[in-house]
A and B are shown apart, each in its own frame.
Chain A
Amino acid sequence: MNFDPSILTTHAGEIGDAFLVTVKTWLLGSALGLIVGLALALLIRSLGRWARLPLLALSELIRGTPFLVICFILYYGGPSIGIDLNAIFAGIVCIGFYSSVYFAEIFRSGFNAVPRGQLEAAECLGLGRWQLLVRIELPQMLVIILPALTNLLTVLCKETAILSIITVPELTAVLGGIGTRTFSFAETLVALCLAYLLLVELTARVGNWLERRVGGYLN
């Protein structure tokens, strides 16, 4: 086995594009999931005990299903019920759809972690529902859930590799393709591992840094 890194430099353009696709599907998908997840958490909270059951059940079902299968349903199953997406957009939707229930779960526990009395105090002072949410609940719960959010982001970063199976031209698809074409598995796969380790580590560091910055008031 020989190791020839030049295979990477000759395909640098292709690999760079793929890296951007990975980052794009990851971050845009996560942003989508975050927004939908927050809306879902707020919706579930506003519903009565029985009215929320269907949503909770659906959320359990999605969390019991592998990401790959979610991708199959949305990408291959979609056209059969009239939804047709280009691969990158489909990748973003897949990540967003899948992560929304996990985000919602994190937000739900975050809401529960803000002491009830603080909200009563705000109510007594006349703050409205929206002000309560934006000024009292969200700032505090974001600090509380930051570690969980960081963790979910790293998980989603790795999940983007699975998008290669539904033909999204991201890192795993492109580097895997180069490897198969040129039989230089060692170079491409090592580069692939390093790229993901880099992204995951970077996310963890940014998360840690944020935790230190915003959590200062707690001590």
Chain B
Amino acid sequence: MSQSPTTPQARFPAIRLDQVGKRFGDHQVLEGIDLEVAHSEVVCLIGPSGSGKSTLLRCMAFLEHYDQGEIYIEGALIGWEIDDQGRRRRASNRRLRQSRSNLGMVFQQFNLWPHMTALGNVSEALKRVKGLSRLDAERRGRQALERVGLLDKADAHPARLSGGQQQRVAIARALAMEPKIMLFDEPTSALDPELVGEVLAVMKRLASEGMTMVVVTHEMGFAARMADTLVFLDHGRIIARGAPAQVFGEEAPPRVRQFLQDYLERNALLIDANTEAPGAMPSSISAGDGAAAATKGMF
């Protein structure tokens, strides 16, 4: 994490997780998660499905209630209050809203409100939460839509937009509230392959502008190139973390290497079936030879 640029005046990391755990009934979904995200850092959470990475991200926004440990957003504990006896209690709705005002969340299923236009989606919270006048809210809404390149779709309802456009509107909706941190929960997983690029491009722009981002993703190429830090989760624990070259490199634990190899084979088969590109054959990747290089070659 040392290589990430940190604004000198920031007294806290943007996000700090301390021994976070969560159970669903008998099942321990997350266990002993320690993590710090610095300002302007891009962290990608990766790992097999069911590893708990989406749950972890949702805990950061308190959409899931973590029941062990603490999560601090911009220095403030989110979701819980600790009283004098050290017992935890649900924070008031007002305090939760305050913590969340630092966060922008982007979902796998976009979750746009279908009865409002793109501009309506983007300006709703500006009006109702920030209390802007309709005119101001719409002006700022248009600016946000412009940032994702969809100003011309301002008056379209979500059903009229492609998946990629819907996700870009969803990103604009979150950006319009000027959050310090953006959380992305598999933002491209619900998209047709040809629409993934436009969403990733918007995210790359954001990262280069210095936005603090935590991204749960299956796009290994994106993760390898954009992340300052990769965090690999398996069975609810972090089993590898560090710069992409490190996590995807020769020192990678066997579990990570296995995951990468499976991933490459799946995609190579796809590419093979579609284009018969000879370079993408899985046999060309030997486990020792640095999977990161192969990932980069693919994208």
A–B contact via C-beta, under 8 angstroms? yes
Assess whether B97 is in contact with A126, with CB atoms less than 8 Å apart: yes
Say what secondary structure dominates the interface of chain A.
helix
User: Whose C-beta in chain A lies nearest to the C-beta of B103?
Assistant: A124
Residues on the B chain within 8 Å of A124, using CB:
61, 63, 100, 103-105, 174
Residues on the B chain within 8 Å of A115, using CB:
109, 111
Interface string of B96-124 (1 = CB under 8 A from A): 01001101110101011111000000001
Q: Within 8 Å of chain B (Cβ to Cβ): is A135? A: yes
Pick the contact of B114: A120, A126, A218 (CB < 8 A): A218
Assess whether B109 is in contact with A125, with CB atoms less than 8 Å apart: no
Assess whether A118 is in contact with B111, with CB atoms less than 8 Å apart: yes
Q: Within 8 Å of chain B (Cβ to Cβ): is A28? A: no
Enumerate A126-176 residues with CB–CB distance to B below 8 Å.
Answer: 126-129, 131, 135-136, 139-140, 143
User: Whose C-beta in chain A lies nearest to the C-beta of B63?
Assistant: A120
A124 to B79 Cα, complex, angstroms: 12
Assess whether A218 is in contact with B128, with CB atoms less than 8 Å apart: no
A123 to B63 Cα, complex, angstroms: 9
A123 to B93 Cα, complex, angstroms: 10
User: Whose C-beta in chain B lies nearest to the C-beta of A217?
Assistant: B157
User: Whose C-beta in chain B lies nearest to the C-beta of A116?
Assistant: B111
Assess whether A123 is in contact with B109, with CB atoms less than 8 Å apart: no
A5 to B105 Cα, complex, angstroms: 69
Given A123-B63, A124-B103, A125-B174, A117-B109 contact (CB < 8 Å)? yes
A129 to B124 Cα, complex, angstroms: 14
User: Whose C-beta in chain A lies nearest to the C-beta of B158?
Assistant: A217
Residues on the B chain within 8 Å of A129, using CB:
93
Assess whether B177 is in contact with A121, with CB atoms less than 8 Å apart: no
A139 to B173 Cα, complex, angstroms: 19
Q: Within 8 Å of chain B (Cβ to Cβ): is A86? A: no
Minimum Cβ distance to chain B for residue A26 (Å): 29
Assess whether A127 is in contact with B113, with CB atoms less than 8 Å apart: no
Assess whether A127 is in contact with B107, with CB atoms less than 8 Å apart: no
Pick the contact of A120: B104, B111, B129 (CB < 8 A): B111
Given A120-B111, A121-B170, A218-B114, A127-B100 contact (CB < 8 Å)? no
Q: Within 8 Å of chain B (Cβ to Cβ): is A219? A: yes
Given A217-B114, A218-B114, A121-B128 contact (CB < 8 Å)? no
Assess whether B114 is in contact with A140, with CB atoms less than 8 Å apart: yes
Q: Within 8 Å of chain A (Cβ to Cβ): is B1? A: no
Assess whether B159 is in contact with A127, with CB atoms less than 8 Å apart: no
Minimum Cβ distance to chain A for residue B199 (Å): 16
A131 to B61 Cα, complex, angstroms: 19
Residues on the A chain within 8 Å of B174, using CB:
124-125
Pick the contact of B115: A127, A131, A217, A219 (CB < 8 A): A217
Assess whether B159 is in contact with A219, with CB atoms less than 8 Å apart: yes
Q: Which residue of A117, A121, A139, A143 has the most chain B CB atoms within 10 A of its CB atom?
A: A121
A122 to B170 Cα, complex, angstroms: 11
Residues on the A chain within 8 Å of B113, using CB:
118, 121-122, 136, 140
Q: Within 8 Å of chain A (Cβ to Cβ): is B132? A: no
Assess whether A126 is in contact with B111, with CB atoms less than 8 Å apart: no
User: Whose C-beta in chain B lies nearest to the C-beta of A214?
Assistant: B115
Given A117-B107, A140-B115, A125-B63 contact (CB < 8 Å)? no
26 contacts between A and B (CB under 8 A): A115-B109, A118-B112, A120-B107, A121-B105, A121-B112, A121-B113, A124-B63, A124-B100, A124-B104, A124-B174, A125-B124, A125-B125, A125-B174, A125-B177, A126-B100, A126-B101, A126-B125, A126-B129, A126-B177, A127-B124, A127-B128, A127-B129, A136-B113, A140-B114, A218-B114, A219-B159
B residues touching A (Cβ–Cβ < 8 Å)? 61, 63, 93, 97, 100-101, 103-105, 107, 109, 111-115, 124-125, 128-129, 157, 159, 170, 173-174, 177
A residues touching B (Cβ–Cβ < 8 Å)? 115, 117-118, 120-129, 131, 135-136, 139-140, 143, 217-219
Given A124-B105, A140-B115; 18 other pairs, CB 8 A cutoff: A117-B111, A118-B113, A121-B170, A122-B125, A125-B124, A125-B125, A125-B129, A125-B173, A125-B174, A125-B177, A126-B100, A127-B124, A127-B125, A127-B128, A131-B128, A135-B128, A217-B115, A218-B159
